[in-house]
Structures are given as structure tokens and as C-alpha cells.
Copies of this chain bind each other. A is one copy, B any other.
Amino acid sequence: MQDLHVGFIGLGIMGRPMAGHILRAGYPLTVYNRTRSKTEELASQGAQVAESPAEVAAESEVIITIVSDSPDVEEVVAGPKGILEGIKPHSVVIDMSTISPEVERNLDEKLRAKDCNLIDAPVSGGDVGAQKATLAIMAGGDQKVFERVRPILEVMGKSITYCGEVGCGQLTKLCNQILVSLNLLGVGEALTFARKNGLDPHVMIEAVKGGAAGSWQLSNLGPKIVERDFAPGFMVDLMQKDLRLVLEAAAAGKASLPATSLVRQLFCSAQAHGEGRQGTQILAKIIESLASLDQ
């Protein structure tokens, strides 16, 4: 049995397997989820189930949250029956949601007023990474606090990077999303160009993927696009939330990102076509459709 009692709030497609890894690593675990039925499997494996985030906090030294968006984290931490109402001094909240860096800094201030700390630690790697404990975790916050909770992060991820002060985990995750979406935009334009000019797209991908044109997006999503497989690894609607966070933080930092703005508009087109719950690779179909009025 590990010495730290862990709380876990948010048992969605990511949170459930992540909480399972913590339980199996021997940490005493208390969980909370708005929809209580999602706690049942973990309860049967030995987790305690709390009635509120405040109750989770009262039981735990480390409280992990992974929910959808900034307002959800604010609600869970600082809302009625939230973490702040139950938390004990010297506890640590690890927020693994992808949300605004600014919100993380504000919540950290509130936690510090109670002699507690926040670590922002968003993840990359999707539901498969959550299940296999191969997530990339990008963490921000006080470095000593980070080192104290690192063993817990290592239970859930393969690559754990300390990125700087509170908010730097989120900022790094947002860089990740800029790269992911613009690499995918390149794949979409290259495949559209290939298709419209009569190239065999599989041959094109094989010819270029090993060199300077290579990317994870090309190797992994390129073939899916060619096969017209638009099932989500990562959904358009979630990418749009992340790109909104990117452009907000870019404005705050006075960075001008023309291509990220463009790709966000193209994803808006996917959403307008009712494709928001498709995988991000639907972007290629949107680019094809730009030149299809005459077909």
C-alpha cells in the first residue's frame, strides 16, 4: 500500500482507465463522478466513492481532476462542494484536463491561500494511451511539488516532462495541438493535391514519409484518410476546444498565428457539415470539398 491517499474526479473515457492504474499501483483511492454509475467498476475493485469533490478532497492528499473544459475545472475546484471546501493543508491538486493556462494560475492562487498547490498536467495519447498507461504528460507548477507527485504520474504515463511554472503544462499541450493540427493540414492538402492530380495516394505516402516530409500525422492518419476512415481517434469538437484555448493564449501572449486560425476555420466547416464528432482527419475531406463545387 502506497502512503499517499489519492482522489480522482472525472471518470470519462480518459479518467476511468487512468484511475484504474492508480488503484492497481496500490494507492488508496477515492473517486467522484457527476454520473455516479461510472464509479461502479472502480468501486468493485476497491475504490471508495465520494458524494462530492469536497468529500474527495477531505479524504486525499493528492487530488487528480480530468474533466472537459475550463468552467468544469473551476466548478470542481472552486464551486459549491468543490475541492477547496474540503481540502487539507499541504495537499496537491493535479489537473490533467486540457484547459486555459490562465485558469490554472487563478486556481493555484486559491489553493496556495490554503497552503496547497496546483500542478497542471495535461496529457497526450488519447484513450489508447490512457488504457495502456503510455500517455505523454506535460506538467507545470512548483518543481518540488511536482517531484513529490511524479511517482503517481508515472503510473499513468510513459513520458513525463516538467515544463515550468503553473500553466506551462497547458501551454506545452497547446503547442502540441498547434503541431498536430498543422501537420494534419499538410497531410490534407498533400492528399487532396495527389488525388486531384491522379497520383496513387498510398504510393505517395510511402515515397515521402521516411524523409523531411515525415510526421506522425502522415504515417498514422494519412492511410486512414485514403481509406475514407473518419472514425475518431480524436474528435473535431475536442480539437476545436483546444484550438480556441490556443488562440486565447496566443492573444494573451501577443503571438499571431495565421495558420492555426486557418485550420480552426476549416474545422468550423467540418462542424457546420455536422461532422464535429468525426476524427480530426475529416479535415482532408473539407479541403477536398473546397474544390468540388464543379463535380
Contact = CB atoms under 8 A, between A and B. Distances in A.
A171 B189 contact: no
A163 B213 CA distance: 16
Contacts of A255: 189, 192-193, 195-197, 288, 291
Contacts of A195: 255
Contacts of A182: 182-183, 185-186, 189, 259
A191 B259 CA distance: 13
A249 B196 CA distance: 10
Nearest to A136: B211
A207 B259 contact: no
Contacts of A257: 189, 192-193, 287
A218 B258 contact: no
Interface string A243-268: 00010011011111111101100100
25 contacts: A125-B211, A125-B212, A136-B208, A136-B210, A138-B207, A163-B207, A164-B198, A164-B199, A172-B194, A175-B193, A175-B199, A176-B207, A176-B212, A178-B186, A178-B189, A181-B186, A182-B185, A189-B257, A196-B250, A196-B253, A196-B255, A197-B252, A215-B217, A256-B290, A262-B262
Closest CB pairs A-B (n = 9) = A182-B186, A179-B213, A215-B215, A161-B207, A196-B253, A256-B290, A197-B253, A196-B255, A256-B291
Given A171-B204, A172-B208, 5 more contacts: A138-B207, A183-B183, A214-B215, A255-B291, A256-B287
